[in-house]
Each structure stands twice: as structure tokens, then as C-alpha cells.
């Protein structure tokens, strides 16, 4: 999960710095084009085709979350939402994830985990520093973005019996197929630097989703959900290397966030009690 959030931060910094003329739809479609090419290159020559699954409905619904997440963000921006406000609301996602995992998978979270995830959401408000009051539409669309992200991870946990290649293939299917007819209308010819940037974004996105899949397969998602806001801290650190100058309060929030998630990591790595030895 730590690898996944670091790669998510890398995508955000590289994409925001390099890709400036594309629409969100083109970025999403090209990203998943790269994703599909890597999946087919790595997993496509096995005995069982990557598209073969005994749970096609669940795979397609899960894949739809990867279209719904950027889609709600794009609609929010089109209706006048400020990106910082949308992202600040979005980081309630770990709390939604833990609630959904509890209701659907029976994975309970400790009060300590709820507290750390809440602190992460508070840090997101400091990082993005939204001003003013959001409209109800902005709140609803941003919560939709957060919920789709949370549902994707919970459904990935539910599909842990599927092969890695199958999960990675279906992740990209719905957004790629749905957005394909739209591309002739929104396509902007990429510059060489944008091609390099989208290659990094696509590869990092593929590796990040692979890491997310492995994390969801290895342990209950409620255990690792409070680590997700660590992406904010990684984003701030990478932005420094990209010659940006985050505000002092942003750095302070990132430090607090790292301390909080570091505390959770300590508890996650702590040995489970084995009970009393038998006589």
C-alpha cells in the first residue's frame, strides 16, 4: 500500500507538471491505453487469457469505478468547482473505505485506525487549503469521487481469488471502451514532453494498481486504509524535487501526516498476541 500511494503521488506531480493541454478524458483514456498494453505484454501470453473470468459482472462494476472517479471530478470542474476543494473533500475516502469494508466484508477497524484516517483527512484540508464554502453539487460529486475510489479497493479485496492479470485487465476495460468514441472530439496532438509524461503516468498507474491489488489480496483493506492519505505527504516531497515551493503549513501538515501514518505502521507491524501457552 505504501508503494501504491507513492506511485499515486508520482502520477499527480508528473501529470500536473507535464500534461497541461489535454482534457481529463484524454488523460484517462491514454493512461489506460498504456495500462492495457503493459498488462497484455506482461500477462497476456499465459495459458489462460487475461479476460477469462468467472465473475464478469463484478469485474465490470469494479472497472466502472475507475471511470466514475475521474468522471465526477471532471463534472465538478465543469460546474465551477475549485480543484483544491474537490480534492480536500475527496480524502474522506479512507473513512468511506473502512465503513464499506465493515458493512460488506465484516472487516472491523480499531478506534486508533479511525482516528488516524480522520487526522489524514484534516491534513488534506491543510494541504489543499480550500477557501469558501463548497456548493452542494461540489460536495456530492467529490463524495462520489471518494466513494468510487473506496469501492474499487473493497471490490479488489472481494476479487482476490482472481488472477492478477485478470484484475489488471478489467480495471482498464470500462474507462477505455467508454471513452474511445469520445477521443476524436477531444483529442489534442501531444507534444514529445507530454508523451513522455503520459508514459510515466501510465506505467506508474499500472504499478500502483498492481500494488493495490497485492495489498488487498494480502490483508484486510481496513488495516491499510489509514495509510492512504500518506499520498499527500509523498506529493509534497515530490513537488519539492519538481522545484515547487509548498507553503510552510503544507509541509507541517505533511509532517503530521507522516508521523500519524508512521504510528499506524508501527501498530500494523506489531506482533499479534498469541495467547497463553498451553500447559
pLDDT for 195 equals 86
Label residue 99 by pLDDT band (50, 70, 90): very high
Q: Which domain range does residue 128 map to?
A: 2-268
Find the helix packing angle between 136-158 and 93-105, rounded to 10°.
Answer: 50
**Model pLDDT for residues 138-149, shown as the tens digit of each residue:** 999 999 999 999
Q: Is residue 73 part of a domain?
A: yes
Label residue 114 by pLDDT band (50, 70, 90): confident
pLDDT for 246 equals 59
Span 35-43, average pLDDT: 91
pLDDT for 250 equals 67
Distance CA 21, CA 188 (A): 7
Span 7-21, average pLDDT: 85
CA–CA distances in Å: residue 261 to residues 118, 123, 140, 167, 231: 11, 12, 28, 28, 10
Q: Is residue 161 part of a domain?
A: yes
Report whether 182 contacts 25 (CB < 8 A): yes
Counting Cβ atoms within 10 Å, is residue 256 exposed (0-12), middle (13-18) or buried (19+)?
Answer: middle
pLDDT for 134 equals 84
Q: Of all residues in the chain, what percent carry a pLDDT higher than 90? A: 47
Distance CA 6, CA 13 (A): 11
What domain count does the chain have?
Answer: 1
**Model pLDDT for residues 187-245, shown as the tens digit of each residue:** 988 888 888 888 889 999 999 999 999 999 999 998 888 888 888 888 877 877 766 55
Q: Is the pLDDT of residue 278 over 60?
A: no
For the chain, the average pLDDT equals 85
Q: Is residue 216 part of a domain?
A: yes
Q: Is residue 177 part of a domain?
A: yes
pLDDT for 25 equals 93
* Higher-confidence position of 71 and 245: 71
Q: Is the pLDDT of residue 276 over 60?
A: no
Q: Is residue 276 part of a domain?
A: no
Amino acid at each position: 500500500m505504501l508503494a501504491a500511494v507513492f506511485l499515486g503521488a508520482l502520477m499527480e506531480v508528473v501529470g500536473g507538471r507535464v500534461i497541461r493541454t489535454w482534457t481529463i478524458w484524454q488523460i484517462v483514456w491514454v493512461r489506460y491505453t498504456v495500462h492495457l498494453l503493459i498488462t497484455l505484454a506482461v500477462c497476456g501470453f499465459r495459458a489462460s487469457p487475461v479476460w477469462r473470468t468467472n465473475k464478469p459482472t463484478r469485474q465490470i462494476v469494479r472497472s466502472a469505478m475507475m471511470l466514475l472517479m475521474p468522471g465526477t471530478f471532471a463534472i465538478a470542474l465543469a460546474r465551477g468547482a475549485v480543484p483544491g476543494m474537490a480534492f480536500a473533500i475527496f480524502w474522506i475516502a479512507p473513512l468511506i473505505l473502512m465503513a464499506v469494508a465493515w458493512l460488506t466484508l465484516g472487516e472491523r477497524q480499531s478506534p486508533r485506525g479511525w482516528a488516524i484516517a480522520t487526522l489524514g483527512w484534516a491534513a488534506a484540508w491543510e494541504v489543499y487549503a480550500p477557501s469558501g464554502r463548497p456548493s452542494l453539487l461540489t460536495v456530492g460529486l467529490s463524495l462520489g469521487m471518494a466513494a468510487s475510489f473506496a469501492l474499487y479497493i473493497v471490490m479488489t479485496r472481494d476479487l482476490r481469488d482472481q488472477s492478477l492479470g485478470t484484475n489488471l485487465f478489467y480495471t482498464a476495460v470500462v474507462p477505455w471502451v467508454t471513452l474511445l468514441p469520445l477521443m476524436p472530439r477531444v483529442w489534442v496532438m501531444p507534444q514529445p514532453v507530454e508523451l513522455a509524461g503520459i508514459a510515466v503516468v501510465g506505467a506508474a498507474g499500472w504499478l500502483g494498481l498492481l500494488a493495490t491489488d497485492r495489498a488487498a489480496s494480502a490483508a484486510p483493506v481496513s488495516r491499510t486504509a489509514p495509510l492512504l492519505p500518506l499520498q499527500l505527504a509523498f506529493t509534497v516531497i515530490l513537488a519539492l524535487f519538481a522545484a515547487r515551493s509548498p507553503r510552510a503549513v503544507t509541509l507541517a501538515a505533511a509532517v503530521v501526516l507522516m508521523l500519524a501514518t508512521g504510528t499506524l505502521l508501527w501498530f500494523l507491524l506489531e506482533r499479534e498476541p498469541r495467547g497463553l501457552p498451553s500447559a
